Amino acid sequence: METAAAAEFTRAYGRPPAGVWAAPGRVNLIGEHTDYNDGFVLPMALHRQVVVAAAPAAGRSTVRSRQQADVAEFRAVSVEPADVAGWAAYVAGVAWALRSDGYAVPDADFLVDSDIPVGAGLSSSAALGCAVARAMIDLAELEVHGTELALLVRRAENDFVGAPTGLMDQLASIHGRTGHVVFVDTRSLVVEQVPFVPAAHGLTLLVADTRARHQLVDGQYAQRRQTCRSAARALGVPALRDVPMDDLEEAVRRLPGQTMRRRLRHVVTENARVLDVVSVLRSGRDLRAIGPVLSASHASLRDDFEVTVPQLDVAVDSALAAGAYGARMTGGGFGGSIIALLDSRRRDEVVTAVENAFQRCGFDPPATFTAAASPGARRLS
């Protein structure tokens, strides 16, 4: 991808790029809809990535993509949220966020390439933002790194693009590491990379993109956030993270209405499940032990948080029926992808079982691949 992006840049702009940068998509092993509740998440960066070739330009920035026909232009010194629409807003938004943090951002030409499917719940937009941010920061010779960079990219998504995401995706794309998942306490923002190598246990972490497309700018995600905020207010806590497991039943009784109660139950139990999985990973025990915890997360997202769709449920159920140790939807939900933990030698059987189940239900065929924990955003050349 690196060579193709550089060659396409040269063709489009008539000069070679000054550099090529990359940032990965992610799957979340566990900890769903917890990041905007100040809770715990455990994503891992994927080998699927966004690659950006870029070079300084005079007077205006131009954005092209190998996947999209439209070309966008903006001026880094003056761009405002209404100026750029569509996917290029993720690029312009980073320039805007840097500028509003007081950094001088020179204009540049960009050529974007990606092998992360859009709308698959694999964080194609966070990867785009992170790759562009790394490029802009290097071109401008600024010192912005790690979590500060992730926060900046999230601000571009929230306030420029208008997608009300939490911080998990950007943190995964920045802090990813080969053979590790990224454990984050989203309140303290302490990040710990925890070893996760399924192959060492004869296991595979399979990703199945159900091809049911989701949109975080749609109202459902924002609505979940709003309900969680209202529930926290009703309980008199800063965030749902502050409800201990031991107080869950009492807190549930204090909430008005079944919807808030179910949302609370998901968030509190999900945070506990993240800690369970982290303790298995840290102890070096057999990874099969996390299987039931992953499946319990899915049930909670289906029944209490209500963010699954039939494709996600069918994919999870058919993977489990074919012998997976655990399976769950990953990402925001309302479509997108599932992950399943299975014996590597049963991979083909599980894939076939999911494909057959999709065919029986009349769904589009899923796209499957094996997840490999990969490095975070970086300069390639």
**Residue 70 falls in the annotated catalytic set:** no
CB of 32 to ligand GLA, least distance (A): 4
Q: Are the C-beta atoms of 106 and 58 separated by less than 8 Å? A: no
CB of 165 to ligand GLA, least distance (A): 3
User: Whose CA is closest to 305, among 277, 275, 268, 340?
Assistant: 268
Pick the closer one to ligand GLA by CB: 61 or 165.
165
Residues 26-55 that bind ligand GLA (CB under 6 A): 32-33, 35-36
CB of 33 to ligand GLA, least distance (A): 5
User: Whose CA is closest to 135, among 374, 380, 355?
Assistant: 380
DSSP letter, residue 158? I
Pick the closer one to ligand GLA by CB: 113 or 169.
169
The C-alpha atoms of residue 39 and residue 32 are separated, in whole angstroms, by 9
Q: Does 298 bind ligand GLA (CB under 6 A)?
A: no
Q: Does 17 bind ligand GLA (CB under 6 A)?
A: no
Q: Where are the beta strands (DSSP E) in the chain?
A: 19-28, 40-41, 43-56, 61-65, 72-74, 108-114, 180-185, 190-195, 203-209, 326-330, 337-343, 367-370, 378-379
Q: Looking at 164-172, 229-237, 347-355, 373-381, which segment touches ligand GLA (CB under 6 A)?
A: 164-172
Q: Which amino acid is at 359?
A: Q
**196 contacts: CB under 8 Å, gap ≥ 6:** 29, 44, 179, 180, 181, 281, 287, 373
Question: Which residue is closest to ligand GLA by CB?
Answer: 166
**Site pattern 167..206 for ligand GLA (x: CB under 6 A):** -xx-------------------------------------
Pick the closer one to ligand GLA by CB: 29 or 111.
29
Pick the closer one to ligand GLA by CB: 108 or 174.
174
Q: Looking at 10-18, 82-90, 160-168, 236-244, which segment touches ligand GLA (CB under 6 A)?
A: 160-168
Q: How many residues bind ligand GLA (CB under 6 A)?
A: 11
Q: What's the Cα-to-Cα distance from 225 to each of 3, 91, 164, 250, 267, rounded to whole Å?
A: 41, 25, 9, 22, 11
* Cα 339 versus chain centre, distance: 13
Pick the closer one to ligand GLA by CB: 54 or 150.
150
* Cα 232 versus chain centre, distance: 24
**Site pattern 56..95 for ligand GLA (x: CB under 6 A):** ----------------------------------------
Residue from 37, 62, 124, 165 touching ligand GLA (CB under 6 A): that is 165
Pick the closer one to ligand GLA by CB: 76 or 163.
163
CB of 172 to ligand GLA, least distance (A): 9
* Cα 93 versus chain centre, distance: 18
Q: Does 304 bind ligand GLA (CB under 6 A)?
A: no
Q: Where are the beta strands (DSSP E) in 196-307?
A: 203-209
Is 43 in a helix, a strand, or coil?
strand
Catalytic residue among 35, 169, 209, 304: 169
Burial class of residue 269 (count of CB atoms within 10 Å of its CB; 0-12, 13-18, 19+): middle
The C-alpha atoms of residue 214 and residue 337 are separated, in whole angstroms, by 10
CB of 156 to ligand GLA, least distance (A): 13
Q: Does 166 bind ligand GLA (CB under 6 A)?
A: yes
Q: Does 332 bind ligand GLA (CB under 6 A)?
A: yes
The C-alpha atoms of residue 182 and residue 15 are separated, in whole angstroms, by 38
Catalytic residues: 169
Instruction: Give the footprint of ligand GLA on this chain (CB under 6 A).
Output: 32-33, 35-36, 165-166, 168-169, 216, 331-332
